[in-house]
Amino acid sequence: MKQEQHPGSIQDRYQAGARAALIGMAVNGVLALIKGVAGVVGNSYALIADAIESASDVVTSLIVLVGLRLAGKPADRNHPYGHGKFEPLAAVFVSIMLLGAAVLIMVASVREILTPNHAPEPFTLAVLIGVIVCKEYLARRTKSKGEELKSIAVKTEAFHHRADALTSMAAFIGISIALIGGAGFEMADDIAAVVAACVIAINAMLLMRPALFELIDTAPNPEFAKIIREIASKVPGVKGTHKCGVRKVGLSYFVDLDVLCDPSETIRHGHEVAHKVGEAIHAALPEVAKVLVHVEPSDDFGRRTQDAFGVQE
């Protein structure tokens, strides 16, 4: 089975994620200012709501940046497994802020629907086209980086960019309807903002789920453990594998693995086999930060029916 490789050290990957967040923060700041001014001058509450969403993106990009910087700190006495949990924690905070922004936009848009207003100015459509192109490009670039790094915080940051593109698209449609429809269609702009807020809220909850799972040490994809077992089984002296526990901490993985060896061999032989298993896993999967290998006699394994995680062998 082919395993995915991640170039660079763990620290390099954290730095790459931080750079992606920094770029997003700068772009969001500029776009928030442009959309805010255009929304006020052009009489478009959908565009103002879009500017609010971009302004919140600046804060969330900062949260992701700080989270990745903290997660990249090396292990110490108080954090022997490192600081990787800051990475999914940042993703949870970003999701919560997305929900908050969605609620804010929705409440304000409903208030605008109930208040008579004028149709937006046509020039706001040109502003929105530029924003949509810019944010969609940034979303795709950031998503690609998040998948490469296997960073849930960077992936959440990517959706934040896409959420901005979605709100801009909704605003574009709403303003177009208001301008084409004329009198009686002015509220289409505000209705578009409500629809965009609902999309943001739904996706924020979907993004929060995997981040929370990671915080409570939910096991990653079973295929990853399968790859680890296959690597260990190919090491000379290994008769098979037993328990295999994997947990994700930030951009790293920690592995607890039981391997089966010939019971007639010496303790030194078992130690050497365990050492080679660890080396083989690190070489094939650089994202694995630490491997704890426990050696068991192969003839004792036949009397066991379940491993320590309750998985039937």
* Same-domain status, 201 and 285: no
* Same-domain status, 134 and 65: yes
pLDDT of residue 46: 66
- Residue 265's domain spans which residues? 222-301
Q: Is residue 310 very low, low, confident or very high in pLDDT (cuts 50, 70, 90)? A: very low
Q: Which of 186, 215, 244 represents a domain boundary (last residue)?
A: 215
Name residues whose C-beta falls within 8 Å of residue 273's C-beta, 6 or more positions apart in sequence: 235, 236, 237, 238, 259, 261, 295
CATH no. for residue 138? 1.20.1510.10
Measured CA to CA, the distance from residue 63 to residue 50 in angstroms comes to: 20
* Same-domain status, 117 and 155: yes
* Same-domain status, 98 and 133: yes
CATH no. for residue 273? 3.30.70.1350
Read off the pLDDT of each residue in 1-18 and give the average, rounded to a whole number.
Answer: 59
In the predicted structure, residue 191 carries a pLDDT above the cut 60:
yes
Measured CA to CA, the distance from residue 167 to residue 104 in angstroms comes to: 13
* Token pair belonging to 242: 């037993």
Read off the pLDDT of each residue in 258-269 and give the average, rounded to a whole number.
Answer: 85
Nearest-CA neighbor of 207 among 146, 271, 117, 125?
146
Q: Is the residue at 14 inside a domain?
A: yes
pLDDT 10s digits, 199-228: 778 878 887 888 888 787 777 777 888 888
pLDDT 10s digits, 109-168: 787 777 766 667 788 788 888 888 888 888 888 888 787 777 777 777 787 788 778 777
Name residues whose C-beta falls within 8 Å of residue 171's C-beta, 6 or more positions apart in sequence: 44, 46, 47, 49, 50, 124, 128, 189, 192, 193, 196
In the predicted structure, residue 261 carries a pLDDT above the cut 70:
yes
pLDDT of residue 8: 57
DSSP states of 257-287: EEEEE-TTS-HHHHHHHHHHHHHHHHHH-TT
Q: Which of 166, 188, 215 represents a domain boundary (last residue)?
A: 215
Count how many domains the chain has.
2
pLDDT of residue 173: 83
* Same-domain status, 198 and 251: no
The model's pTM is 0.65
Q: Residue 256 gets which letter from DSSP?
A: E
* Token pair belonging to 312: 């039937």
* Token pair belonging to 243: 């328990």
Q: Is the residue at 313 inside a domain?
A: no
Q: Is the residue at 309 inside a domain?
A: no
* Same-domain status, 147 and 256: no
Q: Is the residue at 1 inside a domain?
A: no
Q: Residue 224 gets which letter from DSSP?
A: H
Q: Is the residue at 2 inside a domain?
A: no
* Same-domain status, 129 and 178: yes
pLDDT of residue 6: 45
How many angstroms separate the first and last alpha carbons of the chain? 21
In the predicted structure, residue 41 carries a pLDDT above the cut 60:
yes
Measured CA to CA, the distance from residue 109 to residue 186 in angstroms comes to: 13
Q: Is the residue at 108 inside a domain?
A: yes
pLDDT of residue 116: 62
* Same-domain status, 43 and 116: yes
* Same-domain status, 244 and 279: yes
Are 19 and 119 in contact, with CB atoms under 8 Å apart?
A: no
